Amino acid sequence: MAIDLVLDFRHNRFLLGEFYFQKIKDGLFGFRNIIMEKKDQEKKSSENSDIFSLTKIKDKALSRNSRVFWTEEAYINYSDRDINRSDKIYFGLSINQKVIHIFLFIVFLGLGLLLARSVHLQVIKGDEYLATAEQNRIRIQYVKAPRGIIYDRAGRALVSNVPNFHLYITPFDFPKDEQEQNEIIAELDKIVGYPLGDRLEDIRKFTPRQREYFEPLDLCEDIPYDIALRLDVYTSNLSGVGVLYDAKRKYEFIEEVSANEYLYNSLSHIIGYEGKISEQEYDDWKESGYLLSDRTGKSGIELSYEKALKGKHGKKQIEVDSQGKEKKIIAQEDAERGQGVVLTIDLDIQKKLEELLRNELLLAEKKKGVAIAMNPQNGEILGMVSLPSYNNNDFAQGMKADKYKQLIDNEDNPLFNRVIKGEYPSGSTIKPVIASAALEEKIITENTSFLSTGGIRIGEWFFPDWKAGGHGLTDVKKALSDSVNTFFYIIGGGYNNFEGLGVKKINYYAALFGFGQATGIDLAGENQGFLPTPEWKFEVKGEQWYIGDTYHLAIGQGDFLVTPLQIANMTAIMANKGKFIKPHLVNKFISVDTGEVKNVNYEVERENFISPYNLNIVRQGMRQAVTFGSAKILSGLPVTSAAKTGTAQWGTDKDAHAWFTAFAPYEDAEIAVTVLIEEGEEGSVTAAPVAYDFLKWYFAEYKKL
């Protein structure tokens, strides 16, 4: 049977549309229908021998590089005589079912990955990315709290806050191109007048993950007002650069008399100074709200009461432009000013002590000394002088390298607070402690006497008295008033058949009076002094403890070391009749915002560790030192007093240290004073006049008796 191939293009155009519609339908709802249709057609073709076999048609289609070129070639039209139009055969691409499954898997996998990524970005990381985006536009800017003022006990401000201008860079907003950065810095160098490149290198180290990346970081500070104005104009159109204002410290009452010579700078050791926060301080305190541009206390009261003085920074939520400049304030939290700190120090007493000590050092041709005045009834330090001293304004305003080198290289060490850090042999000022211990241990009574003939001999060793020929028959009161070494050798270490205290008991009672340990004053860096023991000597020196070591300990010589504050506190215990009160420098705190006042109560560490009866015997001995003994210089005071002198040897080729400590009035003491002059030789010669002049001024002029 002949088969006619119908090529009616008009009809074919209809069939072409129908063909593509069928292909799309099959592709969307399943290619399996096409495969089944092809199988049915193959079955029909086997029954009709007049029709071309499907295999031949298929071969024809595949013979052209295995693809169907045109619909006309893929469509077979049979004659109306032999077959109906509805039986026409359509060919499509044969797709394996496995391939379909893989295709669908890939599609759904891609959609799943897109969904997962969307969830990660919008849900899991949504807050973080939102915050980052908002930080580009809305930021938190800190408003620094004014630092609290430090006052003397009469309410006189010892410090003030003065304007301070900073040139800053915000790393996030600053241009990232180094060449552009260098060009900006070069222009800033010209305006400021000195190079800023080193500081820029430090700022470049910050990374975007650090909180500091969005903080203003100082390029320089202490900028004069006129230069600050020029910088403000120049940086107004620069991204990430600007000028900030805050305050820095100025320490009052210091008078410059010549280059590097100041009067009334002894307050520097008490108040201390503030400076730029260090990296270590920032790491330790950043969780407490500190910023990299903050200033913190470095020594003295500024350091000890840093938290009270600092206050709490305020916050501003601001909207910024593309350069990081503030456009408007969205919300604001006010700063809380630091608390006012009222010291126990009286400025008049401080100045007078310093003046008298300076004059005595000049007269004795010495350079280093200490003077302390305190209230023995409550532990308040009224005046505390350590000379030489320094000007703490040099640190607050930015210490120049050459000036700092001068301070460090100065052999007299003006930065060293000798009151709390200096460690010296006590000399005879320790004798009231030894006498109290011997009375308390019942080794002696007030009537026990020993003959002083100028010293005692143990074998080949001779331990002298300070007076040739000795002091004659001596009891405990005379031993204190005349500072008789022989008496204290015997009660301390024993002699012949008399058993003394021994090193362990001496150290035990010395510790009760506060030696060998910090007093606990509210200043950082206090040293403990030193109480030597047989174990220490053997371990350090490789020597055993001899009786001579105990003799030396009993008169405050040898390896026994004390701080001037410890001697002052021991004197206060004698003055207040047996109370160890922790010395302190702060009297009260004042809240500037609320007006609330918080008083600081004194702390009694211990009391009654020496019986009142025995302590009274020792006090009488110290009183006799004034009436007819080594401290009789005080007999000219308008009030009664008690005292103890001391001469502390500390080297065969150096002059001894001069000590003097006293309290007054004797019956009900209101002030105790301790003076040390390094290498001042005799305490009764160089140190005693300072104490006398001060107490005379205190009762005659300050108290106006």
User: What would the pLDDT profile of 221-238 be if each residue is shown by its tens digit?
Assistant: 889 999 999 999 998 888
Helix axes 612-627, 564-575, angle to 10 degrees: 110
What six digits make up the tokens of 495?
Answer: 């002699």
Nearest CA to 566 out of 407, 403, 430 is that of: 430
> Is 324 in the same domain as 465?
no
Based on the structure, what is the number of domains in the chain? 4
Helix or strand (DSSP H, E) at 462? strand 461-464
pLDDT of amino acid 332: 81
Residue 484 reports pLDDT greater than 50: yes
Q: How many beta carbons lie within 10 A of that of residue 576, not counting itself?
A: 21
Reduced DSSP (H G I as helix, E B as strand, rest coil) percent helix, strand, coil of the chain, to 5:
45, 20, 35
Contact 313, 561 (CB under 8 A): no
Please, which residues have CB within 8 angstroms of residue 413's CB and are 6 or more apart in sequence? Answer: 388
Q: How far is CA 605 from CA 231, 294, 432, 519, in A?
A: 57, 37, 20, 10
End-to-end Cα, the chain, rounded Å: 152
What six digits make up the tokens of 618?
Answer: 């020792």
pLDDT of amino acid 37: 56
pLDDT of amino acid 62: 43
At residue 82 the predicted structure's pLDDT band, cuts being 50, 70 and 90, is very low
Mean pLDDT of 181-204: 84
Residue 471 lies in a domain: yes
What six digits make up the tokens of 297?
Answer: 């206390």
Of 118-127, 189-198, 654-663, 677-686, the range with the lowest mean pLDDT is 118-127
Mean pLDDT of 662-679: 97
Mean pLDDT of 604-633: 96
Q: What is the pLDDT of residues 51-81, one digit of tens each?
A: 444 444 444 444 444 444 444 444 444 444 4
pLDDT of amino acid 287: 87
Residue type, 651: G
> Is 179 in the same domain as 119?
no
pLDDT of amino acid 216: 82
pLDDT of amino acid 509: 98
> Is 549 in the same domain as 489?
yes
Residue 28 reports pLDDT greater than 80: no
Residue 546 lies in a domain: yes
pLDDT of amino acid 539: 96
Average pLDDT, the chain: 85
> Is 387 in the same domain as 515?
yes
pLDDT of amino acid 210: 58
Strands (E), 252-336: 255-258, 261-263, 274-276, 295-297, 314-320, 326-333
pLDDT of amino acid 33: 53
pLDDT of amino acid 258: 72
Q: What is the pLDDT of residues 379-404, one digit of tens each?
A: 999 999 999 999 999 998 878 888 88
Residue 537 lies in a domain: yes
> Is 470 in the same domain as 522?
yes
Contact 432, 487 (CB under 8 A): no
What six digits make up the tokens of 91?
Answer: 């060919």
Residue 327 lies in a domain: yes
Helix or strand (DSSP H, E) at 37? helix 32-47
Instruction: Provide, rounded to the nearest whole percent, the portion of the chain with pLDDT above 70.
Output: 83
pLDDT of amino acid 21: 45
Nearest CA to 677 out of 365, 394, 435 is that of: 365
- Please give the residue range of the domain that contains residue 119: 98-133
C-alpha–C-alpha distance, residues 424 and 556, integer Å:
10
More confident residue, 178 or 491: 491
Q: For the domain that residue 451 is a member of, what is the CATH number?
A: 3.40.710.10
Residue 348 lies in a domain: no
pLDDT of amino acid 66: 44
pLDDT of amino acid 437: 98
Global confidence as pTM = 0.78
> Is 669 in the same domain as 609?
yes
Residue 410 lies in a domain: no
C-alpha–C-alpha distance, residues 581 and 519, integer Å:
9
> Is 436 in the same domain as 478?
yes
pLDDT of amino acid 421: 97
Q: Residue 342: helix, strand or coil by DSSP? A: strand
Residue 513 lies in a domain: yes
Q: For the domain that residue 310 is a member of, what is the CATH number?
A: 3.90.1310.10
pLDDT of amino acid 136: 62
At residue 244 the predicted structure's pLDDT band, cuts being 50, 70 and 90, is confident
Helix or strand (DSSP H, E) at 580? strand 579-581
Please, which residues have CB within 8 angstroms of residue 631's CB and are 6 or more apart in sequence? Answer: 622, 625, 643, 644, 645, 660, 662, 684, 688
Q: How many beta carbons lie within 10 A of that of residue 419, not counting itself?
A: 25
> Is 397 in the same domain as 537?
yes
> Is 129 in the same domain as 161?
no
> Is 422 in the same domain as 467?
yes
> Is 191 in the same domain as 303?
yes
Q: Residue 161: helix, strand or coil by DSSP? A: strand
Residue 165: what are its φ and ψ, rounded to 5°? -105, 135
C-alpha–C-alpha distance, residues 590 and 153, integer Å:
12
Q: Residue 344: helix, strand or coil by DSSP? A: coil
At residue 44 the predicted structure's pLDDT band, cuts being 50, 70 and 90, is low
At residue 129 the predicted structure's pLDDT band, cuts being 50, 70 and 90, is low
Residue 96 reports pLDDT greater than 80: no
Residue 611: strand pairing partners: none
C-alpha–C-alpha distance, residues 2 and 160, integer Å:
119
Contact 555, 489 (CB under 8 A): yes
> Is 109 in the same domain as 29?
no
What six digits make up the tokens of 342?
Answer: 């009222």
Residue 521 lies in a domain: yes
Q: What is the pLDDT of residues 279-333, one digit of tens each?
A: 889 888 888 889 888 899 999 999 999 999 999 998 887 777 766 677 787 888 8
